[in-house]
Amino acid sequence: MNKAQKTILFIIWLAVMIWGLTGVFRRLVHGELLVNYGSYVPWGLWVAAKTYFVGISVGASILAWVVYAFDIKQLRPVVRPALLVSAATMAAGLIVISFDLGHMWRTYEVFTRPNFSSMLAIATWLSMAHLIYVIAALTIELKPGRTHSSTLRIMGWFGLFLAVTFSGGNGAEFAAMISSPYWHSSLGPIMSIGGALLSGVALVLASVALFPFSPEQDNPQLLKILSRTVVGLIFFILLLEWSEFSISMWYARGEDYNLLYSILFGPYAYVFWFFHIISGSIIPLILLLWKPAQRLSAGFGGAMVAVFYFAVRLNHVIPGQVTPAMKGLQQAYTDKWLTFAYFPSSNEWAVFGFSVALSVAIFYLGIRYLPFSTTNSIEERGE
């Protein structure tokens, strides 16, 4: 990357960060007065963003755990970027969800007085365990000297267990709710794990292809393996979605039918068709199948999958809340907070922008100041 490109990227990052900081400031001063979610759509952009960031974090870490557990030498160079991506996105997820809380300074209560029948409490505990584990693995990975392969294997298996449990728990957080037939699906946890893998591996592919920081990463074979993994995962997610949509809509009736129809053909249909299907699936598939080992093709393909997977998260979180529990409820008491329509406010977008800029900053500072570019690290392990 030349200096001009770096400058342009820095200016974009700085602009997003400043915009985001204004949003954070306004959130801290005005509380939740500047949000567009309300009492009937209580979870908005920030909750969707949390599931998105957490998904990427889990997916990227799973890649590292698989390499450890199965000792896949060809994929060794992706372990460090995968762990760094995981830590950076997890931090963003935790930050953005803290702004969603009505009393963010009471978050510690989830640890001091947890209710373990709540999927949210379980997911919060697992999220902290996941973050600590990722940071610990990153520390071990960056430690100079040797780490025995059997130790890494055990770390990998435990990491896999933790990541799959955590990701499944995140899906179950929604799927266990009887209030929304759309969420209440046994496919929920599977979709959560699959989506995490897809978005996480895709972002690692993008970072390795576009910003390689060690010569081992500039390896066509490595890119090819990652590209094919992402292609397989795209088809897996599309298969799950087909299953979810076709079963619920086949006979054009039933509780979910109208809701799914509105996702496909309603006013926000572009989120599904343009962002998810075209930009997040078809174009990346073309790029990744056409030139899977070429840096730009694989990099942009991966980046598009990772970025536009946010559309899937939005389409999961928001539509699950837009059906009134009773007919006529919205008209029963008219208030701007009591509506079943939702589009994020500018301040919600700004805080989301802050979390994105924060995760980018953590990733950049990681590769800039941590000993990532040592070329002999793999050989040093000598397994």
Partner 1 sequence: MKKSALPCRESKPMEKENSAFKPPVTNLKRRKFLKNSFIAIGGLGTITGLAVNNVFAGEQTAASPLKDPESFADGSHLERMRVELLRALEKPVDQRKWVMVIDQQKCVGCSACTVSCNSENNLPPGVVYRPVTKVEVGKYPDVSWVFTPRPCMQCDNPPCVSGCPVNATWKREDGIVVIDYDICIGCRNCIAACPYNARTADFGDFFGLETPEIMDYETRPNFEYSKEWPRNPGSHESPIGNARKCTFCLHRVRVGMLPACVTTCLGGATSFGDYNDENSLVHELVGSGRAKRMKEELGTAPSVYYLI
335 lines the binding site for partner 1 (CB under 8 A): yes
**Contacts (Cβ under 8 Å, ≥6 apart) of 51:** 170, 192, 313, 316, 317
Per CB under 8 A, contacts with partner 1 among 53-112 are 100-104, 106-107, 109-110
31 lines the binding site for partner 1 (CB under 8 A): yes
Shortest Cβ 253–partner 1 spacing (Å) = 18
> Residue 362 has which token pair?
């953590």
**Contacts (Cβ under 8 Å, ≥6 apart) of 375:** 214, 215, 216
**For residue 201, is it left (φ>0), alpha (ψ between -120 and 50) or beta?**
alpha
DSSP-derived secondary structure for 28-86: HHHTTTT-S--SSS---HHHHHHHHHHHHHHHHHHHHHHHHHHT-GGGGGGHHHHHHHH
Q: Which is nearer to partner 1, 153 or 184 (CB)?
A: 184
Amino acid at 319: P
Q: How many CB atoms lie within 10 A of CB 318?
A: 22
Shortest Cβ 173–partner 1 spacing (Å) = 8
Q: Which is nearer to partner 1, 335 or 380 (CB)?
A: 335
128 lines the binding site for partner 1 (CB under 8 A): no
**Local structure of residue 312 (DSSP, 8 states):** H
Q: Are 227 and 212 in contact (CB under 8 A)?
A: no
| Backbone φ, ψ for residue 26 (5° rounding) | -65, -35
Shortest Cβ 243–partner 1 spacing (Å) = 24
Q: Which is nearer to partner 1, 93 or 301 (CB)?
A: 93
Rounded-to-integer distance, Cα 77 and Cα 207, Å: 12
332 lines the binding site for partner 1 (CB under 8 A): yes
Shortest Cβ 274–partner 1 spacing (Å) = 28
Q: Which is nearer to partner 1, 31 or 371 (CB)?
A: 31
- When binding is defined by CB under 8 A, the residue of 117, 251, 369, 375 that contacts partner 1 is 117
Q: Which is nearer to partner 1, 132 or 329 (CB)?
A: 329
Residue 368 burial (C-beta neighbours within 10 Å; 0-12, 13-18, 19+): exposed
- When binding is defined by CB under 8 A, the residue of 2, 5, 115, 375 that contacts partner 1 is 115
- When binding is defined by CB under 8 A, the residue of 4, 144, 251, 331 that contacts partner 1 is 331
Residues 158-197, mask of contacts with partner 1 (x by CB under 8 A): -------------------xxxx-----------------
337 lines the binding site for partner 1 (CB under 8 A): yes
Give the interface with partner 1 as residue ranges (CB under 8 A). 31-33, 35, 38-40, 42-43, 100-104, 106-107, 109-110, 113-115, 117-121, 124, 177-180, 321, 324-329, 331-333, 335-338
